[in-house]
Structure 1
Amino acid sequence: MKEILPNEVNSLLKGNSPVHIIDVREADEVKTGKIPNAVNIPLGLVEFRMQDLDKSKEYIMVCRSGGRSSRAAQLLEDHGYTVLNMIGGMNEWEGPTEKF
C-alpha cells in the first residue's frame, strides 16, 4: 500500500489538480474538524459505499492516527481502487481544517 505524509497532502491541496480525500473517522470525530472537501465515510461503511467511488481517481484515506485509514485503503486497493494512506492521520495534520 502506498503512503503519503500529511505535509504532502497539504501541498497537493494547494495545487490546481483535484484531490480526493476520504475521512474514515466516525461522524462525531469529524465534527472536531476535517481536511477541507474531505468526504466522510466511516470505516464500517467503506465496503458498502465503495461502488460510489470512481476507480479512475486516486483517493487519499485519512483517520485519526493512520490505522483505520490503512485498513480502508487496503480494502479499496483489494477491489481495484488507487489509494494512498495518510501516515499519522489527523494527529499529524497541520494544514487547514473545516468544521460542519
Structure 2
Amino acid sequence: MEVAKIIKEKRGTIVDVRSYDEFMGGHVVSSINIPLNEIPHRMQEIQELKAPLVVCCASGNRSGQAQVFLTAHGIESYNGGSWLDVNYLQAQSE
C-alpha cells in the first residue's frame, strides 16, 4: 500500500520515532511518539496500535530502522520519512 494513501485516508497510526524533545519541538497532529531506542521495550503497546503504522523522524533514517525492526516482528509498517513530509500529506487530506 502506498504511504501517501494511508496518511491521506487516515488508515493507520503515525508513529514519530524521534526523541521526546524533538517531538515536542513540532510533530504531526495525532501522531504518537515512541523514540527509536524504546521500540523493542514497547512492543506490546505497538502491537495494539491501529495498523498499518507509518513511522517518521527527522530525515527518514531512524524511521527506516524502525520500519525494518517492526516488519521483522510481524507489524505492518511503512517508512514515511521526514515528519514534515508526513505532515504535508496529512494536511492535504483535511
Same fold flag (TM > 0.5): yes
Give the TM-score normalised by structure 1.
0.73
Gaps of 5+ in 1: none
1:76 aligns with 2:76: no
User: Partner of 2:18: helix, strand, or coil?
Assistant: coil
**Shift of residue 31 of structure 1?**
1.3
Paired with 2:71 and 2:13, the residues of 1 have a C-alpha distance of: 15
Name the count of aligned residue pairs: 88
**Shift of residue 10 of structure 1?**
8.5
Give the TM-score normalised by structure 2.
0.77
**Which structure has greater helix proportion?**
2
**Shift of residue 54 of structure 1?**
2.8
Give the CA RMSD over aligned residues. 2.5
1:23 aligns with 2:25: no
Gaps of 5+ in 2: none
State the identity %.
Answer: 28
